[in-house]
Each structure stands twice: as structure tokens, then as C-alpha cells.
Amino acid sequence: MDVRIRTALISVYSKDRIDEIARLLDNLEIKILSTGGTYDYLQKQGFKVTSVESVTGYPSIFGGRVKTLHPKVMGGILYRREDDGDLMELEKFDIPPVDLVIVDLYPFEQTVATTRDENEIIEKIDIGGISLIRAAAKNFRDVLIIPSSGHYNHLIELLQNKKGMTSLEDRKFFAAQAFNVSSHYDTKIFEYFNREQNIPAFKKSISTSFPLRYGENPHQQAHFYGDLDEVFTQLHGKAISYNNIVDIDAAIALIKEFSEPTFVIIKHTNACGVASRTNLKDAWADALACDPVSAYGGVIIANRPIDVNVAEELNKLFFEILIASEYDEKALEILKSKKNRILLQEKPVNFSEIQFKSVLNGALVQEKDMKTETEADFHLVSKKAPANTEISDLIFANKIVKHQKSNTIVLVKGKQLIGSGTGQTSRVDALKQAIKKAHDFGFELKGAVMASDAFFPFADSVEIASGEKITAVVQPGGSIKDADSISFCDEHEMSMVFTGIRHFKH
């Protein structure tokens, strides 16, 4: 059923384009009711506007906390146009009908992001506005609700095209938008209070999203919820895909572990190349050498600016994505030679330390694995202590193993990943895969170190490692047969340290 708008109530924080809306309403002979700052603004702009206070007979009280919470306001929105009882009460209490409600809420979320002043934050919890939104949305059969400044453009188009008429389809569409706005707003308020209270409830609201070409596979639909513009600027290339986003996340998480000039190459969320060197060009050459086959079509990230010399080397490889904080102008010219190649300029951003994923009929929520072991965390369990170079490599290897899919073994030599076994159902299989990778690409394992994401249930892994002349091992420890692995190391002049920290990743 089409409804003609005769009276509009405007109560907004953002005044952008509100004068344009008021002019359209005025031209369509739609009466305007307004409150507080909005009323003052519209009057100064020369519009004929009626104050809510003159309708209710009550002034704005308690410093503006109470303005629209009155039966003459809520009644005009909520009464049912086809209900005889409602119509009688409307007339009895002299309640003016309201057909259009325009609201823009106090910026609570933005206030939380910019201040720690609790009084200022609390005063940005909108009460009247959220009540107007819910009331108008509930009565969508008769009332049109515009719940935020983000919907002003759509209202302007509606007023211009339909000359003050609205369809049930229009009103129901905006009702859904309204409950999206109100639920997001309430979730952000809950998140603020729950920082201290830790109420065990899972609530997450992200209002920014965009559709992806498809999900992990072409037959799966997918969206990304979030604002990628906060994380990076895309300088070149095709649209980012679902799998790209997952790999970018893995790449950024791993590169943050390193302070020296470092390159990381990611394939299906696992590192297939990592190297730290005194300069970025050498770091790239050695990261690529780890597994140049897997690097093809991979996601690459560096923790230093990309100059022309590095760009020339990178350009020799087909890869999907390159991420860096800066690019030289000439480097960009070279890298843009492939039209589909995605080039991202990373921005400084602090990510949440909480992660979640949907499983079964609910969600798993946990703290991210933020523990990065240093030499101080190493507990020597073998008779032989690792040399200084081995300690450096053990730290390096342990950083990588934390980010690989379990079960995983990482082999490192000279701050270069030389072999990795990932996602295996047994630790021995992961080690055998890592050794094979190292052999396939011509690495000498003598003097290399080994890192494991979890304890060795038996001594077989250190036995195999010893056979390859691997000299030092880092693992969490905790097996009932730890003594067997330790004894073997002692008998074969290997050093082993425990961290006490497991790094499973599923």
C-alpha cells in the first residue's frame, strides 16, 4: 500500500545534506517537526519547522537527555492507521501523525575510538534517537524510517522520484536497514562495557562489507566484512579474492615476527620461503631459493620499502600479490608491468588479539597466539648447549613454525627457511616432508636446526634429524617420553631446548 508523507520528524547528529532534504520536504508541502540542534539549524537555514517541545508541551530536559521520549511523539509514529481504537486515541490525546522519521545517532563508536573520557563516551549513547528508529521501523506498514546519514542519498532519490509517496516495499526495506543500524549501535555499546565485565556472550557487528567474486572455490558465494582500506591501499591489479585475503592475513601475521630486512612467501597460508638478511635484495633471493616451485603464484610480503633493484628481481617471478609499506616510483613502474598483479601498500594498524570462527552450530573464540619465544624462554635439556648461531636460528625457526599448519616441522640454517613440512597427520611425516623439500632444492642440512610446533611423542624425529646432520632442536616438550629424545640427543652430540609453549595451528 502506498502512503503519502504528510509530516516528517527530523532528529539528526550529522547535518550534511539535511538542508537539501528539508528543501525537498518543503517543496512537497510536508510538515517538519524537529528537536534541539536540528531545529535550530533548520530555522537558521530559513525553513518552516515546528519544535517537538511545542507539540509535547515539555522542554528538552536533563541537558538534552530527554527530548522525544513522549507519548505525543512516539504515539504519532506507532499508532496503527487502520486500527479504529488507535485512531480514536490519536484524536482523544491530540497526537500529530508522523509518516517519516529521519535520525542520525550520536557517534558513539567514533567517540570510543578517539577518547578515553568515560563521561564523554557515555553522553554519546543515544537514547531518543534509537527509540525513534525502533518505533518507526516497527510500524513500517505506515511509517518510513531513515536511520542514518548513510541513507540520506536514498531518501533524496525517493523524494525526487516519488514526490512524497512511499510503497510498502520502500518502508520494509528501510525498516531492515534501521534494525541493522540499531543492532550495530547496541553491539558497540555492549563491547565497550564488556571490556571490563567479560560477560560470556559472542556479539560481533561489522557494518562495512563487499562481495567477493567467489569463496574458496568458484561454486561458493562469499563476502568480506570489514574495511580493507584501513589495512592497505591497493596500488595495482585485479580485485582481491577470498583466498587472497586469507593468505594476506597469514603473510602480515608472520612478517610482524621479524625486525631485520625480511621477505616472506606464502602459499595457501603456509610459508614456503622466509629469509632475513642485511639487505632486502639478498633476503628476496634466499627466501625464493627455499622453494621456488611453491613460490610461483604466491603472496609475497617484505618489511622494508621496495626499491628498483628488488623490483627487478621480483618481476622475474609470477606471483599474485606483493605487500610492502613503501615502493619507489621506478619500482612501481616495473611491478605494474603485469596488469593483474596485485600490489598493496600496507598501513600501520593494530589488529584485534581475539580471533573467532564458525563451527557446528556456534562459534569458537580465542586469544590469538601472541607468544613469540626468545632465548630467555629456552630451557636447555641436553648436555650440549646450542652455539650462538644455532640459538639465532632456533629463534628464527620457532617464529616460522608458530605460523604453519599443524603438524609441522621447520628446518632453518643461517636465518633462512630451507625445509618445511606442514599439515601432516604425524610429526615424522612432517619432518620427512621438510627434509625432502630441503634436498629437492639443494640445501645442505648439516648444521641446520629443527623446530617443532608440539612435543615429540617418541625419539624417532630426533633420530631422523640426526641422520641428516641437524645439530639443534627446539620444541615445547611435555611428552611422557621426553627422556628418550633427550638421551638420544646426548648420545649424538645434539643440543635441544624446550620452550614449554605449544604452537598448534588448525
Q: Which residues are catalytic?
A: 138, 268
Task: Annotate 384-452 with DSSP letters as a single string.
Answer: BPPPHHHHHHHHHHHHHHTTSPSS-EEEESSSBEEEEE-S-SSHHHHHHHHHHHHHHTT---TT-EEEE
Residue pair 164/30 in contact (Cβ under 8 Å)? The answer is yes
Distance of alpha carbon 184 from its chain centroid, rounded? 16
Q: What is the DSSP letter of 375?
A: G
Q: At what angle do helices 128-138 and 168-197 cross, to 10 degrees?
A: 140
At 10, the amino acid letter reads: I
Beta strands 409-412 and 417-421 are antiparallel
Taken in order 134, 118, 225, 229, the sign of the CA dihedral is positive
Sign of the C-alpha dihedral computed for residues 392, 429, 425 and 290 taken in this order: positive
Place of cell 513500517: 140
Other CB atoms within a 10 A radius of the CB of residue 128 amount to: 24
For residue 482, give the amino acid letter: D
Residue 51 has φ and ψ, to the nearest 5°, of: -75, 145
CA distances 449 to 260, 373, 398, 487, Å, are: 20, 16, 10, 18
DSSP label at residue 95: P
How many residues are given for the chain?
506
